[in-house]
Amino acid sequence: MSLLQNLRRRLITGPVMQDWPGLIEAYRGWLPVSDATPVVTLHEGATPLIPVPSVAERIGRGVKVYVKYDGLNPTGSFKDRGMTMAISKAKEVGCEAVICASTGNTSAAAAAYARRAGMRAFVLIPDGYVAQGKLAQALVYGAEVLAIRGNFDRALDIVREAAESYPVTLVNSVNPYRLQGQKTAAFEVIDALGNAPDWLCIPMGNAGNITAYWMGFQEYYQAGHSRTLPRMMGFQASGSAPLVHNTTVEDPNTIATAIRIGNPVNRDKALAAREGSNGAFLDVTDAEIIEAYKLLGGQEGIFCEPASAASVAGLLKRSAEVPEGATVVCVLTGNGLKDPDCAINNNDAAFHTDLDPNLETVAKVMGF
Ligand code: AN7
């Protein structure tokens, strides 16, 4: 039975998804693992590809738009895809501690998988710039959290040096196993659509994910699982857009703290993905990010974090260029629950407070 048939069988038999084994088992033949690799998994992957008609309607011309909702992974972001691989490979060689710098999601995923594997997890974060949900996760998952007076880029410099000097394995996306795991998201998109989309819209921070998707699309294409390759459309926040402007940003700033990164480590690979796919990079303002964030939440029932909404904001900004009848996939990299402060401060909800506790008052507010 081919891998694809095997996957389909998994998806249509028995209680829904009950036997999804996690992405290493599902895509074992495509990943650098062997029988000697102890698989550390939280059964990540197999996230849904959801149509978003309200976004498609804004573009018109028969364009179909889906979101790849990777915020439904076990720790709430796409980082789990890379971390199951990085931690499994670290465990394979007897590693006892891992370290990462993080704007939040990597730290949550590293902590969860490392602790599950019985390792210590050290995470360096920019003090005051990590969303509450992510910080809560790192603490609950048992990481040793070091908040520095400095931004993500500085934290990454430090952990790279630490990994050279001390017995700790670096699990940022400079670790090649991370991207290997993350490329499976592209496999899932093709498995779901039967072909690659015309456009793949994705937020960029360190640009590991765009690199991994491009790798995955190319591998499936070369194996004949897709007839086409997508254009890779990468988006950054205007206050933190080093790839868009081909520069380094000393003091990046955006409401989308996940992608508050001024000097992306995967810069060259991201540029190669853009070149190779005839893609494009563009920046979106915080206001545009929040508009897309509210549209997804309020019209589609899909709650993502602001960094993730950059993919939809970017698509809407470039909508005039989408070919008629095209299929577009926007990657929603993280769950909205990660950043409750952003949600509370950016919504158009009717939130009535301090009401008298009786039916009359409630009915009056309801307009009855
Ligand atoms: C929700 O957690 O860099 O371009 O330290 O959390 O692969 O870096 C997070 C990045 C997009 C950007 N969306 O991905 C970290 C971190 C969300 C993210 C990105 C991140 P890359």
**CB-based contact 328:312 (threshold 8 Å):** no
Cβ of 163 closer than 6 Å to ligand 1, yes or no, is: no
Question: What separation in Å is there between the alpha carbon of 12 and the centre of ligand 1?
Answer: 32
- At a CB cut-off of 8 Å and minimum separation 6, what does 86 contact? 98, 110, 113, 169, 171, 175, 177, 178, 181
Distance 154 CA to ligand 1 centre (A): 16
Average pLDDT, the chain: 95
Cα(175) to ligand 1 centroid in Å equals 14
* Nearest-CA residue for atom 5 of ligand 1: 102
pLDDT (0 to 100) of residue 14: 53
Tell whether ligand 1 has an atom less than 6 A from the beta carbon of residue 331.
Answer: no
Nearest-angstrom CA–CA distance, 78 and 196: 19
The yes-or-no verdict on residue 3 having pLDDT over 80 is no
User: Residue 303: is its pLDDT beyond 50?
Assistant: yes
| Interval 65-81 mean pLDDT | 98
**pLDDT score, position 337:** 98
pLDDT digits (tens, 9 = 90+) for 12-69: 555 555 689 999 999 999 999 999 999 999 999 999 999 999 999 999 999 999 999 9
Instruction: Give exposure, 48-63, as e/b (b: 16+ Cβ within 10 Å).
Output: eebebeebbebbeeeb
- pLDDT at position 19 is 84
Q: What is the pLDDT of residues 183-202, one digit of tens each?
A: 999 999 999 999 999 999 99
Mutate to test the pocket of ligand 1, among 67, 68, 75, 77 (most ligand atoms within 8 A of CB): 77
The atom number, within ligand 1, closest to the CA of 204 reads: 4
Go through the chain and tell me how many residues it has.
368
Q: How far is the CA of 1 from the centre of ligand 1 (A)?
A: 36
157 and 165 in contact (C-beta within 8 Å)? no
90-148 pLDDT per residue, tens: 999 999 999 999 999 999 999 999 999 999 999 999 999 999 999 999 999 999 999 99
d(C-alpha 301, C-alpha 357), whole Å: 29
pLDDT at position 1: 39
Token digits of residue 48: 């849904």
Instruction: Please state, for a pLDDT cut of 90, what percent of the chain lies above it.
Output: 95
5 has pLDDT over 50 = no
Q: What is the pLDDT of residues 251-287, one digit of tens each?
A: 999 999 999 999 999 999 999 999 999 999 999 999 9
Alpha-carbon span 173 to 259, nearest angstrom: 14
* Ligand 1 centroid to residue 274 C-alpha, Å: 18
41 lines ligand 1 (CB under 6 A): no
**Which residue, by CA, sits nearest to atom 10 of ligand 1?**
258
Per-residue confidence band for 4, with pLDDT thresholds at 50, 70 and 90? low
Q: What is the pTM of this model?
A: 0.95
> What is the model's pLDDT at position 119?
98
Cα-Cα end-to-end distance for the chain: 60
Distance 325 CA to ligand 1 centre (A): 30
